Chains A and B, each alone.
Chain A
Amino acid sequence: MNRIVLDPKKCTGCRVCEAVCSLKNEGESNPVKSRIKVVRTVEDLILHSIPVFCLQCEEAYCAAVCPVQAIAKDSMGVLNVDENKCIGCKLCEIACPVGAIAVNPEKHVALKCNQCGGDPECVKYCYPEAIRYLPGERVGIAVARSRAGKFMELV
């Protein structure tokens, strides 16, 4: 089972992920309708940017609070929103611990990453590889490797 893995240090804040997400899933160019959001902060003239997206929680609060069971886990472990069931109550938005769900302001249904059915568009076009799509069992070593550089400098 694959999942999207983040290396926040590599994000350049280019927002390509937002644009491809909204175009692929909503047919429009609009960061508001992207399921991945890049939080850009300029502090003392240094840009910090962090992409925020659904981490597909094991114990998913969004699904637990949904009064109409519109959010359910599929066989890939991905939490999907059934737009026909969704009543736009926004409880999932409140419950999500990472801030990865918002309600589409036009369609009034929850906007949530579904990993594009197993081929996430955002990952495909993340040039600096701040986000990668990896099998769960390979994540550990991949993350360790990306941080190991720091230790290598010390030895």
Chain B
Amino acid sequence: MSRAGTILRVNLTDGRIEKEPTSTYVKNYIGGGAIGAKIISDAVPPDVSGFDPQNLLTFNAGPLTGTLLGNKCEVMTKSPELINNTLVTAGMGGQFASEMKFAGYDHIVIQGQSDVPVYLCINNEDVEIRDARHLWGLGTGETQQRIKEELRDPEVQIACIGPAGENRVVYALIIHDIQNAASKGGFGAVMGAKKLKAVAVRGTKSLKIADPEAFMGYWREYWDYYTKGRGRLFASLNFREGLSVHIQDHGKYKDVYPYGYYDTYVSPPMKKEDTAADFVKKYMVGHIGCAFCPVQCQQNFSVPGIANGGSACMNYEGYRFLVKGLDPKLWWKASAKAQQYGIDTVSMGSITGWLMLLYEKGVITAADTEGVPMEWASEEAVMTVIDKVCRKEGFGALFADGIVPAAREIAGGMGLEYAVQSNNRLSTPSGAPGGPALFGAGLVKGTTQMIWLHPAAFDMHGIYPWYAKELGVSYDEAQQMVEDWASDFTERVVGNRNVWKGQSVQDTARYIIASEDAIASCDISGHCDFLSDRAPQFGCRTGIEEIPKWLTAATGTTCTSEKLLEVLHRKRLLELSYNLLCEKMMGQEQVRTGRPLRDGYWKGKDIPDPAMAIQVGTEYYQLRGCDPSTGIPTRQTLERLDLKNMADMLESAFGDSATDKNNPGAIK
């Protein structure tokens, strides 16, 4: 019922436009990212590069998208950024996916490659590929403005790329509206390779709700949770104080973030005017959250003399700590520019910081960067690197494929020693590359999800003072409350209150799976995964208990937790199997770079004893029905999940997998 019912397939090579019913995929995959993964793995050979015309770019809405309980567009493709071009997915918010559903489509699948720049124009049933030569080269804001004028429709919703995507820079992203993005993985670069400047959607149809009364009942509970319950603190502080942007302020703790690229974690004390809270107070002009969401976690800023734009969090890595640029205005200038170029700011900040470190260490001189000295915190250096990389000019062209290929070129490869990348990606989540924050995600191969699995993820010290003030309690009491929320979550999902503290391997594998399932339940239904069990420290909650009820009320087909878990397991193993095939067939070794955490907050908190990691990995693979020593899903598991074709492909690629010690699925 709440599905739009149709999958739209557009082939940019020959202009073919086809529609097929979503229903074919529904029983086994429900919707969203699960159907997206099925569509890609069915059609794209694992050895095809992310830039190949055969690769698919899919925009996936879920059954809840376009209703009060969902707005997410799960964008999925075979990533040109990840090594061996495995599957990658990103949740893009805003209004785009709802509009897709109102236009009648659950999924938009882009195939092929156009000869000239084009944009896709969808107006309910009418689908047209239009010339975009006049838009090529424009920034993301201007592109959307021009398309709205051209179509004479200010209500159209647009996802587009900027020059970085056009130039196939592998960490280019897709931008929708002011700052909603499908980031990290190279979605913008894939669009650029397909010569697709934008997708513009306008829809006016209805989504029917099977049981409106039950649905509204669940929604009211959810609404109450974020307005009166545990989620109210984060939601109301977003409204009044733009909290989402300064959650990474340090509070009592410091030295959490890498400073001066990854050279140290010890940073100088911050002045009040350098804090994100101060920046928000001065420059926030409003909110730009997603459709139908009570939390509105993205804020709109206007900084006179610099730029207008939006942000959801002031990433302290990226353009602040990695380049030693504590002044938030430098971050803002770079971020606003990056939004127009359509590039990931954390990746760009990372590259800039790395060049600055090389300059300090004498590995490069100003001559290597076209006469611009890569001094720490230099605005000239920061802006030059963005311009050069996104336009793919001069030394910037070296970075189009990522930091490791660039490091091999620069100074005869001497920079490689300082280059850090993690989880196959250039950029890292908060915390530390190769370190505890990636304990799970780095360990378990082929995951498409970034999972927070360490207390680092819960060390959101920037929120404690605000919660404390709001509740009239002490800082320590606020911290204790948030830690209790994390404990409540892990107790609920794995029956262990301490597992999130990362001090023991006990139940860790089950905790990884529970986190994966919480996020994936949102990915397939179209609900925001930030407001899920993934972020209990913000009071968020949604997962395998709530989603099945919501799906049942919205779609009219009974969904139970057991059924949902089976679909999530199927999705996970489909992605894992496909990614193993990509790795086997493309065969590139991951370059593991980076140095262990050693100072600041992280002193003495580094993981790991490799034996612990292997124990967790083994347990994880057993629980997921894979061979514990190789990580390859067993035939028995795959056949039980209706994935016999994957079992056959894995067998022909790996032979007798369980005994093949050299296969890339093995834990190293």
Q: What A residues does B8 contact at CB under 8 A? A: none
A19-B292, A127-B235 known; A46 vs B300 contact (CB < 8 Å)? yes
B206 beta carbon closer than 8 Å to chain A: yes
In the complex, how many angstroms separate the beta carbon of A108 from the nearest chain B beta carbon?
15
**Contact bitstring A35-50, B, C-beta under 8 A = 1, else 0:** 0000011101111000
Is the Cβ of B2 less than 8 Å from the Cβ of A29?
A: yes
A31 beta carbon closer than 8 Å to chain B: yes
A30 beta carbon closer than 8 Å to chain B: yes
Partner of B209, one of A28, A40, A45: A28
Is the Cβ of B308 less than 8 Å from the Cβ of A12?
A: no
B607 beta carbon closer than 8 Å to chain A: no
A16-B294, A31-B102 known; A23 vs B216 contact (CB < 8 Å)? yes
B467 beta carbon closer than 8 Å to chain A: no
Range, interface on chain A = 20 to 34
Is the Cβ of A47 less than 8 Å from the Cβ of B68?
A: no
Q: What A residues does B307 contact at CB under 8 A? A: 45
Please report which residues of chain A, range 59-80, place their CB below 8 angstroms from some CB of chain B when the two chains form the complex: none
A45, B95: Cα distance in complex, Å: 16
In the complex, how many angstroms separate the beta carbon of A44 from the nearest chain B beta carbon?
6
Q: What A residues does B204 contact at CB under 8 A? A: 30, 32, 105
B353 beta carbon closer than 8 Å to chain A: no
B363 beta carbon closer than 8 Å to chain A: no
Is the Cβ of A29 less than 8 Å from the Cβ of B289?
A: no
Is the Cβ of B292 less than 8 Å from the Cβ of A16?
A: yes
Is the Cβ of B300 less than 8 Å from the Cβ of A47?
A: yes
B178 beta carbon closer than 8 Å to chain A: yes
* Residue of A with least CB distance to B213: A27
Is the Cβ of B206 less than 8 Å from the Cβ of A19?
A: no
Please report which residues of chain B, range 116-132, place their CB below 8 angstroms from some CB of chain A when the two chains form the complex: none
Please report which residues of chain A, range 102-118, place their CB below 8 angstroms from some CB of chain B when the two chains form the complex: 105-106
Binds A, one of B280-288, B387-395, B434-442: B280-288
A128 beta carbon closer than 8 Å to chain B: yes
Partner of B223, one of A22, A47, A125, A128: A125
A23, B212: Cα distance in complex, Å: 7
Is the Cβ of A23 less than 8 Å from the Cβ of B68?
A: yes
**Contact bitstring A83-122, B, C-beta under 8 A = 1, else 0:** 0000000000000000000000110000000000000000
* Residue of B with least CB distance to A26: B206
Is the Cβ of A45 less than 8 Å from the Cβ of B294?
A: no
Is the Cβ of A44 less than 8 Å from the Cβ of B308?
A: yes
Q: What B residues does A132 contact at CB under 8 A? A: none
What are 16 A-B contacts defined by CB distance under 8 Å? A12-B288, A12-B289, A12-B296, A14-B289, A14-B293, A14-B296, A15-B95, A19-B68, A20-B68, A29-B68, A29-B209, A30-B205, A30-B206, A42-B177, A125-B223, A128-B287
Closest 9 CB pairs of A and B: A30-B206, A45-B308, A28-B206, A12-B287, A29-B207, A29-B67, A32-B204, A19-B68, A47-B288
Spell out B's residues near A (CB within 8 Å): 2, 66-68, 95, 102, 141, 144-145, 154, 177-178, 204-209, 212, 215-216, 223, 227, 235, 239, 285-294, 296, 300, 302, 307-310
A28-B207, A46-B300 are known; give 11 further A-B pairs, CB within 8 A.
A12-B286, A12-B287, A14-B289, A14-B291, A16-B292, A19-B292, A30-B204, A45-B300, A45-B308, A47-B178, A128-B287
Spell out A's residues near B (CB within 8 Å): 12-16, 19-20, 22-24, 26-33, 40-42, 44-47, 105-106, 125, 127-128
